[in-house]
Structure 1
Amino acid sequence: MNPVKVTDLDLLRRTIVEGLATAGWPEPMWFETTPEDSGRGQATKAVEEGAELVFVSGGDGTVMAVVTALAGTDVALAVLPAGTGNLLATNLGLTSDAATGVEVALEGGRRRIDVGTVGDQCFAVMAGMGFDAEMLEGTNETAKKHLGWIAYIGGAAKALRRPSMGVVISLDGKPALRRRPRSVIVGNVGRLQGGVRLLSEADPADGKLDVAILSPRSLANWASLGWAVVRRKERVPRMETYTAERVEIRAARPQPRQLDGDLIDPGKSMSIGVRHKALLLCVPQPDSDPDLAYDSSAAEKAAEGVRAAANDAE
């Protein structure tokens, strides 16, 4: 857990401990992230000490670090959202209510999904270069804390003033695409901040990544692109989509970059691969949507039992 992102550590502990005890599970080990280690080392240690299930509570960076540690193992990951705009939680349909996340883990729904890779880091949702990372870069942390995903509108407005990128994109070694886009997004699943589905065909277990090249030239282009995405149109203006197992992006100058909604150092390139079904993820049942999102009403109802147990303990 990230003690900076979790607003009430005692409540989180009580919710998890009482929820697990009610189901007859053992009391968990506890690990806190540090400024030097955002979760990868702690999750690796948990696996080494025999954990079969790892709960992660924190922002996008914390979740991504734990995904990196658990990829390729048989240890299940359960997300308990904290902070703002957690992308994997958005795709699971989870709110910031820890009791719901605990109930999802207890229900036993498990699904193996792909993870993307950039260097030695893994991501579960998406990687991006350009506008999407610029938007994150320009978003005020205080505004995020108070407004949630709506705060990204301010960051987006700032990013709109920046120029297009000159990039060369290679997909599975095929002839290169030369473009001047505002953003290149490589997704494993389809939903962005606020639940907007950008990549409607994305399947997190097909062994491929979905690539979106966004090339609007004006505010009118942005408006038509956004409107088509919101309405889930089959054809989105100023956006090209592809699928690939290996994506190479090379820019003429350093660009802002992000993994799963968390900024990484700017750079001129991104080399992105995929590990097929490398992550065992706790998901709601039934897992009927080809995406990970679901109607949370059933899980909310079931989570009442977890909350009641926590309240009794208090």
Structure 2
Amino acid sequence: MLLPGPVPQGGHVTRSAVIVNPSKVVDLDERRREICAALAAANWPEPLWLETTPDDPGCGMAVQAVAEGVDVVLACGGDGTVMAVASVLAGTGIALALIPSGTGNLLATNFGITRDVRAALDVAISGARRRIDVGVVEGADTVTGHPGTFTVMAGMGFDAAMVGETPDDRKRRFGWVAYVVSGLRNLHRRRMPLRIRLDGGRWMHRRASSVLVANVGRLQGGIPLLPDAAPDDGWLDVAVLTPRDITDWAQLAWGVVLRWGRTPRLETFRARRVEVLTSRAEPRELDGDVVAPARRLMAEIVPGALLLCVPAERG
């Protein structure tokens, strides 16, 4: 079980690490010069520079950073890099800063951190630090043995199939819009017969296209699927999508975008532990990264486990 660590006192940083995914950066040398120059200007020591590999999206690098005694880790990559680093930093009290460089950048988007590198570095250097919750999914361990951790949301069904079928080159070229093509292709996907249980209560039976278990509420493109979700309230917000055809999908989409009082074909719940069981193995994803298909998705919230660098409030 992940446990929250103490919030560091004071703003002095004795050591930092940059964990970068080279495949998400056009000019790696220039990015390194830019980051190191900004940290030096803030009187931060030279950072530990660690690059991810195809076999390790960032977990092993984060373990090394923790062992080196850093105060802050700057994750420069996409959602997969952030998820990997967060899975290690959760519970350590070491702050995570985001330098968005991927396609979705869902955690950064939910906190108003843009792809502007200079602005993101300003948040890391002089922004506030906020404790946020993380979700842990059983049976979704990473390659280094750390639990399947998500900061934004876990999904099963349509959303995971859509993410898994979107080629990396298309994501690099078109950004989050690249998901639209694979999304349209999966609109006729069979719904999942499933059972869902919240906090050990009674089992509810549904036929759903997708189940999303969220820590925050915005999807790619800033779509407010769960506008009441908060990253530090100690709850998981659950969305069960049950459209049967194209018409249902259209009504659901308009309901979400226009924020109707009751969106057709969308049920929402709130819980600290969520269990989903299906009749067949289904695609699953954590923060936009596909994990092994399975017949179950079991997620639990860990309140205040991750210390995140966020924009300072303007007053």
Pairwise mapping of residues 1-314 of structure 1 onto structure 2 (< 5 A)?
1-119=20-138, 120-286=147-313
| Letter in structure 2 aligned against 1:137 | G
* Structure 2 letter corresponding to 1:92: F
Q: CA deviation at 1:158?
A: 1.1
* 1:58 Cα deviation from its structure 2 partner: 1.1
- In the aligned structure 1, how far is the partner of 2:274 from the partner of 2:252? 23
Q: Aligned-pair distance for 1:143?
A: 1.7
Post-superposition CA distance 1:239-266 (Å, at most 9, x none):
1101000001111000010000111111
Structure 1 residues not aligned, in runs of 5+: 289-314
CA displacement, residues 118-171 of structure 1 (integer Å, 9 cap, x when unaligned): 131211000000111111122232221111111111010111121000111010
* 1:256-304 deviations in Å (ceiling 9; x for gaps): 100001111111101101110000000001189xxxxxxxxxxxxxxxx
CA distance in 1, matches of 2:102, 2:180: 17
Amino acid at match of 2:26: T
Which residue does the alignment assign to 1:303? none
Aligned amino acid, residue 181 of structure 2: G
Seen in structure 2, the aligned counterparts of structure 1 residues 75 and 287 have a Cα distance that, compared at 3 Å, is: farther
Relative distance call for 1:125 and 1:27 in structure 2 (3 A) is same
Deviation at 1:95, TM superposition (A): 2.6
* CA distance in structure 2 between the aligned counterparts of 1:18 and 1:230, rounded to whole angstroms: 41
> Would you say how many aligned residue pairs link Structure 1 and Structure 2?
288
CA contact (8 A) 1:56 1:80 kept: yes
Identity of aligned residues (%): 53
d(CA) in 2 for partners of 1:151, 1:129: 20
Structure in which a larger fraction of residues adopt helix = 1
Paired with 1:181 and 1:238, the residues of 2 have a C-alpha distance of 9
Give the 3 Å change call, closer, same or farther, for CA 176–129 of structure 1 in structure 2: same
Structure number having the greater strand percentage: 2
What code does the residue aligned with 2:40 have?
A
Q: Distance in 1 between matches of 2:169 and 2:65?
A: 32
**Distance across 2 between alignment mates of 1:143 and 1:84:** 10
RMSD across aligned positions (CA) = 1.2
Q: Distance in 2 between matches of 1:128 and 1:70?
A: 22
TM-score for both structures, normalised by structure 1: 0.89
Decide whether the 8 Å contact of 1:138 with 1:159 is kept in 2: no
- Superposition deviation, residue 73 in structure 1: 1.1
Mind listing any 5+ residue stretches in structure 2 that lack a counterpart? Answer: 1-19, 139-146
Does the CA-based 8 Å contact 2:188-2:245 persist in structure 1? no
Q: Structure 1 residue 188: deviation in Å?
A: 0.1
Residues 196/287 of structure 1: CA separation in 2 closer, same or farther (3 Å cut): farther
Offset at 1:2? 0.8
Q: Is the 8 A contact 1:138 1:158 kept in 2?
A: no
- AA of the residue aligned to 1:39: G
**1:127–1:258: 8 Å Cα contact kept in structure 2?**
yes
1:25 Cα deviation from its structure 2 partner? 1.2
The answer to whether the Cα contact below 8 Å between 1:76 and 1:279 also exists between their aligned partners in 2 is yes
Q: 3-state DSSP class of the match of 1:31?
A: strand
Worse overlay, 149-158 or 9-18: 9-18
* Partner Cα separation in structure 1 for residue 32 and residue 65 of structure 2: 17
Shift of 1:97: 2.1
Shift of residue 223, structure 1, vs aligned partner: 0.7
The one-letter code matched in structure 2 to 1:121 is G
Shift of 1:29: 0.5
Q: What SS does structure 2 have at the residue aligned with 1:269?
A: strand
